Amino acid sequence: MSSSVLLTRRGLLRLGGAAFAAATMPMPGISQPASEPMRLRAAPSRVYLSGGPKNSSAVWAYNGGVPGPEIRVRQGERIRVRAENGLAEGTTMHWHGIRTPNAMDGVPHLTQAPIPVGGEFLYEFDAVDAGTFWYHPHQRSSEQVGRGLYGPLIIEEHDPIRVDRDLTWMLDDWRMTEAGEISDDFGNRHDAAHNGRVGNTVTINGTLPDPVEVRRGERVRLRLINAANARIFALDFGDLEPVIVALDGQPVTPHAPGEGIVVIGPAMRIDLVVDMAGRTGSHTTLRDIAYQGLEYDLVDIRYDGTPLRKTVPDWSLELPANPLREPDLAAATRHEVVFNGGMMGQMMMGDEAGSMMQQMRNGAMWFINGKAADGHVMDPLISMPIGTSHIFVMDNRTAWHHPIHLHGHSFRVIARNGVPTRYREWQDTVLVAPEERVEIAFVADNAGDWMFHCHILEHQAAGMMAVVRVGDSTARHSEYH
């Protein structure tokens, strides 16, 4: 990718550059030693997203704030959360990227009944993998996440890499009205058929970013989480040289991002190690160049205070591996997965063309192997015996990027357009470019019915979602297993 970036400007609102003056609010931490579950209440609230203290905006939030409280535990600990529903509609909580038991996955009607208005649900699971994760509802996600329901979930390694500071940035993108409220045009057909609900106001940890003050020589672990419904970020770090050490929570061979640009699609996480090598008194501006013609300054890094050290530390960047099972590529079953739909895509061809046209007349816009999902419950797209290895060959026959997410598992991205990937990175959400073919491989080792969907939430709502089944089907038909 050159500075040419990902997408053209079609369908996008212009961003006001000046609005991106810049705040990194420390997030309240809640650690979890006790046996009392942590309480997370989803309810309407008001927060200062964009307009400063005089201009709060109505949101839906966990415990009143955007993002919701940080959940931070040590690997191997148990996470217990009592979710309370203070919304005027049903909700659930999904633990994005965490390999939970199926019953804790928070998928409405598939793994649990939606938490009713005024109701609650106890989520409980072990933190098997260390890394950077997040939580959000899986019910009407486009609007529930889009109005502010999400928070960070950090699982610390027993033996973390050494850094001077561990920083989490939850990136979000809002469509704000001139009156400073969230535009309520959720679920409109134009967003759904194009690149989703891309907004006009980008926040870090729920607020317009203020300059970040660092000291010369400081080493920062920066955990990026993209909580936006649809916006892809392509961050240019200027004269800094970020090193990618983990993707979607999973360690990866430390490497510089391609062309120095950190690309992060919706729901993805990237852990960076950044050595702040500038001179005291200087600053570096981070720019988002994802959308051609719509580049903007995201945030300034300012060097302040006494330098911490003169040279870059030689501390290791290698995170300890998580307990993931290695897929057996020779024995793996290959499955073709074709994505169709949306505006400006290829002609739909083949046996399923007629059926897709019919489904479009009924409001569907996106298809996986010719089928658009209508809700979370459906016959499985693919069934996999427990413990077996699988390769999904994903063929994007659309004109748009799609961050494709699999629940309950992490997978290796093994090839793009037939070329083996360099790092065979583990991910749970992979950004697939227009016309691209991406192969992923994993061991189906977590029993249950799992969602497999695009994480552009408007695409998901317009059909780009399927269920894959791991293990025996007979258990699946009892009420929520």
Residues that bind Cu ion in the complex, under the rule CB under 5 A: 402, 454, 456, 459
Residue 407 binding partner per list Cu ion, ligand C2O, none, with a CB distance cut-off of 5 to 8 Å that depends on partner kind: ligand C2O
Tokens of 132: 């950077």
Please identify which residue in 81, 430, 451, 470 interacts with ligand C2O, judged by CB under 6 A: 451
CA distances from 361 to 186, 356, 358, 366 (A): 20, 9, 5, 12
Residue 337 binding partner per list Cu ion, ligand C2O, none, with a CB distance cut-off of 5 to 8 Å that depends on partner kind: none
Between residues 83 and 365, which has the closer beta carbon with respect to Cu ion?
A: 365
Helix (H) or strand (E) holding 191: helix 189-193
Does 5 sit near ligand C2O (CB under 6 A)?
no
Residue 454 binding partner per list Cu ion, ligand C2O, none, with a CB distance cut-off of 5 to 8 Å that depends on partner kind: Cu ion
Shortest separation between residue 464's beta carbon and Cu ion, angstroms: 5
Residue 252 binding partner per list ligand C2O, Cu ion, none, with a CB distance cut-off of 5 to 8 Å that depends on partner kind: none
Does 267 sit near ligand C2O (CB under 6 A)?
yes
Between residues 105 and 275, which has the closer beta carbon with respect to ligand C2O?
A: 105
Question: In degrees, to the nearest 5, what angle opens at C-alpha 316 toward C-alphas 312 and 319?
Answer: 135
Please identify which residue in 216, 287, 397, 453 interacts with ligand C2O, judged by CB under 6 A: 453
Residue 469 binding partner per list ligand C2O, Cu ion, none, with a CB distance cut-off of 5 to 8 Å that depends on partner kind: none
> How many residues at the interface with ligand C2O, by CB under 6 A?
10
**Among residue numbers 369 through 388, which ones bind ligand C2O (CB under 6 A)?**
none
Strand boundaries in 312-387, DSSP class E: 333-341, 366-368, 382-384
Find out whether 202 and 288 touch, Cβ atoms under 8 Å: yes
Specify the length of the chain in residues.
Answer: 481
Give the strand order in the sheet containing 57-62.
57-62, 38-47, 78-85, 120-126
Please identify which residue in 371, 405, 437, 469 interacts with ligand C2O, judged by CB under 6 A: 405
Does 390 sit near ligand C2O (CB under 6 A)?
no
Residue type, position 25, single letter: M
Find out whether 159 and 313 touch, Cβ atoms under 8 Å: no
- Closest to 59 (Cα-Cα) out of 137, 147, 171: 147
Does 269 sit near ligand C2O (CB under 6 A)?
no
Does 12 sit near ligand C2O (CB under 6 A)?
no
Residue type, position 293, single letter: G
Q: Which residues contact 81 (CB under 8 A, 6 or more apart)?
A: 37, 38, 39, 40, 71, 93, 122, 123, 124
Find out whether 452 and 434 touch, Cβ atoms under 8 Å: no
Window 64-103: contact mask with ligand C2O (x via CB under 6 A):
------------------------------x-x-------
Between residues 66 and 348, which has the closer beta carbon with respect to ligand C2O?
A: 66
Tell me the C-alpha distance between 422 and 282, whole Å.
35
Tell me the C-alpha distance between 103 and 112, whole Å.
7
User: Given the rule CB under 6 A, which residues bind ligand C2O?
Assistant: 94, 96, 136, 138, 267, 405, 407, 451, 453, 455
